[in-house]
A and B are shown apart, each in its own frame.
Chain A
Amino acid sequence: EVQLVESGGGLVKPGGSLRLSCAASGFTFSSYSMNWVRQAPGKGLEWVSSISSSSSYIYYADSVKGRFTISRDNAKNSLYLQMNSLRAEDTAVYYCARGSMVRGVGYFDLWGRGTLVTVSS
């Protein structure tokens, strides 16, 4: 089955760290760019970070730049998000999403169910 499964969320104190994982299955993971998107409670979607298929290109939202690090292990079909110096405003459901492209136009066509990160003392 083609799917993405996130894990690693939980409750963490402000200033703390957390590492999210996203396990991919059912498709050739190494052929796709991957993304993290988050959604604060009751709010809209916010793009967080993207990584190309070979990790050559990495991008971050300004809100997380310098604190979060995206990475991937194509041998393990896994995507990661290392989150440091966490703040209350980082509280959200974090989704991993597959990036596809047709005729140079990209889109996020496969999403995981998400993992909840709560930053609170």
Chain B
Amino acid sequence: DIQLTQSPSFLSASVGDRVTITCRASQGISSYLAWYQQKPGKAPKLLIYAASTLQSGVPSRFSGSGSGTEFTLTISSLQPEDFATYYCQQLNSYPRTFGPGTKVDIK
């Protein structure tokens, strides 16, 4: 099974900050990676798929990059509505594993 790790697991930031979250896969997954945002009590929301493709309707301050085993999600200027937990997911093979999540909190 492919394992995903995320760093950091917790991030404290201020509005306007540039934020970067890293997701690493235990083996190469090409670009078969998606990023999701989840707010408390809500369902996850797709942000990025195919490692770098922005889902329709998602603000352009979100971007994704990487391939193989290392991927990043970047928020160029953190907004109040971006405080949430972010998960990566690999769709290269089954099981469709998720990373453990990165919680972005207000500094």
Interface size class of B (residues with CB under 8 A): 20 to 34
Q: CB within 8 Å of A: which residues of B? A: 31-32, 34, 36, 38, 42-46, 49-50, 53, 55, 87, 89, 91, 94-101
Residues of A within 8 A of B98 (CB): 37, 44-47
Q: How far is the CB of B96 from chain A (nearest CB, A)?
A: 4
Given A95-B43, A105-B31, A111-B44, check contact A47 B97 (CB 8 Å): yes
Of A45, A59, A61, A102, the contact of B44 (CB 8 Å cutoff): A45
Given A95-B44, A113-B43, check contact A108 B89 (CB 8 Å): yes
Residues of A within 8 A of B89 (CB): 45, 47, 107-108
Given A50-B96, A59-B95, A62-B95, check contact A107 B49 (CB 8 Å): yes
Given A46-B98, A47-B97, A50-B96, check contact A107 B45 (CB 8 Å): no
Residue of A nearest to B35 (CB): A107
- The dominant DSSP class at the A interface is strand
CA distance A35 to B96 in the complex (A): 10
Most buried by A among B31, B36, B45, B96: B96
